[in-house]
Amino acid sequence: MDYAKKGDWVRIHSIVLTPDQRAAQVPEDTKRVPLEMWTKGFLIADEAKIGDTVTVETYIGRKASGNLIEINPYFEHDFGKCIPELLYIGRQLRGILEGGERIE
């Protein structure tokens, strides 16, 4: 679905400051890139497609503008992948607590 219609929950992106507008104290690598902002809201226009500049009404009713980048945005973070390096910890600790080891 590349088109959003009025009232759809969407994610927008905007440039807050271009590299030349950034604060003087910012480190070099940060100064080379713009300050960007992402926010979400309900589409106000009747229809818009990904990449269009749109205005949305945020969840609390504020207006915000930016480029439409996602329709019905969702979170993808999770519990990560298996980290085999962690697996010794519980076993090691139980071993020590069960009396296997005494360090003085």
Contact track, another protein, 22-41, x by CB under 8 A: xx-xxx-xx-xxxxxxxxxx
94 binding another protein? (CB under 8 A): yes
Q: Binding to another protein (CB under 8 A): which residues in 44-73?
A: 58-62, 64
Total residues at interface with another protein (CB under 8 A): 48
Could you tell me the smallest distance in angstroms from the CB atom of residue 31 to another protein?
9
> Between 2 and 102, whose beta carbon lies closer to another protein?
102
Give 12-80 as a DSSP string: EEEEEE-GGGS-TTS-HHHHTS-EEEEEEEEE-SSEEETT-EEEEE-TTS-EEEEEEEEES------S-
Q: Rounded distance, CA 90 to CA 51, Å?
A: 49
Report whether 37 contacts 66 (CB < 8 A).
yes
Calpha distance 92→95 (Å, rounded): 5
Contact positions toward another protein, by CB under 8 A? 16-17, 21-23, 25-27, 29-30, 32-41, 58-62, 64, 75, 77-83, 85-86, 88-90, 92-94, 96-97, 101-104
